[in-house]
Chain A
Amino acid sequence: MSVIWIVIILSAIGLVSGILIFIVNKVLPREPESLKRAEQVAQYLPGYNCGACGYPGCFAYAQAAAEDKDIITKNPCATVLQDESMLSGIEEALGLEIDTSQMNKKAVVHCYGVTVPLGDYEGIKTCDAANSLVGGFKRCSYGCLGFGDCAVVCPQDAITIDEVRNVAVVDPDKCTGCGLCINQCSKGIIELVPADSNIVFRCSYESLKDIPGRERCDEGCLHCRKCFKACEHDAIIWNREKGIPEFDFSKCIMCGECIEACPHNRLIELKNVVPHKPALKK
């Protein structure tokens, strides 16, 4: 007998609860318009809650964007920029055209990473700890330390440590250009470059501040300025203070002249950061 009572009581209580929720839902004032829009925007956000945009989670970002549309362009979510469908969803939800040509970025590590260690490092295995100890344990005090502090913070698992060369390598397909790794790197050798620029320079050795030449790293920049002279498009700016080339990606046409000219041709590489997806709207 009690089985029947259970069924009756359970269904009755379930029904009453359902009706109550329905009534409360009807009686209460409607949600503000911006909240609804935020929810729409949040649908198209990745939901990683990585915090790279500076907001505590994707929904907070969506709320901010729903109130101020400019946030999408001023403070873009890097993952959204990589994904056409998310992007068009947000454009639709907020009713705007997003011009991504200036925003789509990738991280590159400016180090080739073969420099010899000065000795065995026995301390805490993080770049930060190693760096606070006389700038690391490698002959070149500018290069990557290879403990992967950057790999730990990357929400996309885009960074791996190349065990042979002992250097962090960014997978351009996975990297969304959020920039979290940049602040994490105690050497400051990670940079965001436009995603469709295919030139990487893999050295950070500042010759003028340190022993000149290649005392410190067999693979490092020779500071010969041959790339600078070879570039006919003024895309290379010679950084006089550091003695290394810097690239002006707006002028670079990716002809590869600098690579030809560099006697140490591993340092400048072409087609290294190219995303295999087609670049977004021009």
Chain B
Amino acid sequence: MNNLFSIFIAMAIVNNMVLAKFLGLCPFFGVSKKLSNAISMGIAVTFVMLLASVSTTVIYNYLLVPFHVEFMRIVLYILVIASLVQIVELTIRRTNIILYNALGIYLPLITTNCAVLGIALINSQESYNVLQSTISSLGAGVGFSLVLIIMSGIRETLDLGESPESMKGLPIAFITAALLAMAFMGFSGMV
């Protein structure tokens, strides 16, 4: 139990996908302009991470390891993640067209979101079992959403304030992200 909890905290905060591992930066900057979009993107990514981790761990532990073909994991993971995203995209598109439009180009981008592949690879690197990798991907997803939500809150406020003309938009966002990353460095070594 303790072990699971520390995996969760480690993935969510200490080894945060965006701010400590610098994975998944494109949705981080692309979708963090509005809080509502950030929340839905966070949920979508968490969901895909969860699905991807569970299925890749099953494949890794019960297919790749017994047959000694672990070195094929990147190819396989990409295949699995791509089809998962396809399914998620289809589902969102058919059931909630407004959310689909709001996510726009970033939805297919989840496929190429390195954070999703990253969490799958981390799980197999640490040889987590299914339960552990579920928790770790949940942690990673929560951490990703957390950072996205913090960032969108800051950026919404920044839009109202007066930043210098040349700093408006992405420049100030990058600076903010750097400051956030430094703040998150304070957690390192906690778990």
- The answer to whether the Cβ of B59 comes within 8 Å of any Cβ in the partner chain is yes
Provide the residues of chain A in CB contact with B68, threshold 8 Å: 2, 5
23 pairs, CB–CB < 8 Å, chain A vs chain B: A5-B67, A5-B68, A6-B69, A9-B63, A9-B64, A10-B75, A10-B76, A10-B79, A13-B76, A13-B80, A17-B79, A17-B82, A17-B83, A18-B83, A20-B83, A21-B83, A21-B87, A21-B90, A24-B90, A25-B90, A28-B90, A28-B94, A29-B94
Give the one of B79, B82, B94 with max A CB within 10 A.
B94
CB-CB nearest 8 A-B residue pairs? A17-B83, A28-B94, A5-B67, A24-B87, A2-B69, A6-B69, A5-B69, A21-B86
List residues of B whose CB falls within 8 A of some A CB. Answer: 59, 63-64, 67-69, 72, 75-76, 79-80, 82-83, 86-87, 90-91, 93-95, 97, 101
Provide the residues of chain A in CB contact with B101, threshold 8 Å: 60
List residues of A whose CB falls within 8 A of some B CB. Answer: 2, 5-6, 9-10, 13-14, 17-18, 20-21, 24-25, 28-32, 35, 60
User: Min CB distance, A60 to chain B, in Å?
Assistant: 8
> Given the known A-B contacts A13-B59, A28-B90, A29-B95, are A2 and B83 also in contact in the complex, defined by CB atoms under 8 Å?
no
Establish whether residues B95 and A28, one from each chain, have CB atoms under 8 Å apart when the complex forms: yes
Cβ-neighbour of B72 out of A9, A17, A21, A24 (below 8 A): A9
Q: Closest residue to A5 on the B side, CB-wise?
A: B67
Q: Closest residue to A34 on the B side, CB-wise?
A: B97
User: Min CB distance, A42 to chain B, in Å?
Assistant: 13
Q: Closest residue to A4 on the B side, CB-wise?
A: B67
Apart from A9-B76, A13-B80, A28-B90, 15 more pairs, CB < 8 Å: A2-B68, A5-B68, A5-B69, A6-B69, A6-B72, A9-B63, A9-B64, A17-B80, A21-B86, A24-B90, A24-B91, A25-B90, A28-B95, A29-B94, A35-B97
Provide the residues of chain A in CB contact with B76, threshold 8 Å: 9-10, 13
Q: Closest residue to B93 on the A side, CB-wise?
A: A31
Provide the residues of chain A in CB contact with B86, threshold 8 Å: 21
Establish whether residues A32 and B97, one from each chain, have CB atoms under 8 Å apart when the complex forms: yes
